[in-house]
Amino acid sequence: MRSWKSETRTGRGSPGPTDAAVAAASPPDFWQDFLRADDPVLTAPSYQAGYPARLADGRRLLLPIRVLPGDGTRAVASLILNQASFRVMDAIADVLTAQVAQLGTDVVIGVPTLGLPLAEGVARRLGHPRMVALSTSRKFWYDDGLSEPLSSITSPQQSKRVYLDPRSLALLDGHRILLVDDVVSTGSSLSAVLRLLVKAGRPPTAIGVAMTQTQAWRAILGRIGDRWPTVVRSAMHTPLLVPHQDGGWRPEAVTLSGPRTPSSTRGA
């Protein structure tokens, strides 16, 4: 049984849902198990605290709704993999592996930090003997030429770089690479990783993520190369959410010009 916590806050500008509509459910509700087919959230006119994300195999996972900075009239569904149960993590790895299994990749690169456990799970399921982990911590033997500045909207005050260990280059030579991360939203973090791998002469063949969040990332990745948005595979997708008249949230209607770009995202 879910318990909902009610608080009150109203966004600036157009009236948006109060925190009662986006309140946090008790921790066991999110990321721990899949919804039953008869769960009321699946037929509700709007979503209050959680969004039922649909995995590619049809199962639904309740994700917390996070209001984006600004006027309080946009929100996203959040996924933090290291807070998920092993059952959910295994299911996401299974589904993502099924999405990428026919692509013929033979080495997996994991993006820190939350992409690393998923990358390991996918690599094991593909039968690989290892994975290659990128890092945001500079070891003394690293080469700054094998790094890129990494932006994180959820940690704007932190200056980070993503590094490829020079000793990992030989593990990538001549291989078809699958790049694995947790969530792609604005695409800024993933773009930094792509720039790094292209610069290193080891561009990935495909990209796998647990969740694509909104559609904003397509344009950002497309600036690096037209092919990048087309090679992304995901276990699930969540849309940009906008206020519903009953105080909850519903997916934004996508027009011909596409959805608006969210101003926050990753691990929200």
DSSP-assigned beta bridge partners for residue 236: 55, 211
Residue 222: CATH number of its domain = 3.40.50.2020
pLDDT of 241-261, one tens digit each?
A: 999 999 999 999 865 444 455
Q: Does residue 147 lie in a domain region?
A: yes
Q: Does residue 71 lie in a domain region?
A: no
| Geometric angle at alpha carbon 230, from 229 and 234, rounded to 5° | 80
Question: What single letter denotes the amino acid at residue 35?
Answer: L
Q: Does residue 26 lie in a domain region?
A: no
Length of the chain in terms of residues written: 268
pLDDT of 9-63, one tens digit each?
A: 333 334 444 444 334 445 457 999 999 999 999 999 999 999 999 999 999 999 9
pLDDT of 206-239, one tens digit each?
A: 999 999 999 999 999 999 999 999 999 999 999 9
What average pLDDT score do residues 90-111 get?
Answer: 97
Confidence of residue 159 (pLDDT cuts 50, 70, 90): confident
What pTM, to 2 d.p., does this model score?
A: 0.85
pLDDT at 28: 54
Contact 51, 78 (CB under 8 A): no
Q: Does residue 202 lie in a domain region?
A: yes
Q: Does residue 205 lie in a domain region?
A: yes
Contact 242, 212 (CB under 8 A): no
Q: Does residue 149 lie in a domain region?
A: yes
pLDDT of 53-90, one tens digit each?
A: 999 999 999 999 999 999 999 999 999 999 999 999 99
Domain count, the chain: 1
What domain range includes position 191?
A: 86-237
Q: Does residue 37 lie in a domain region?
A: no
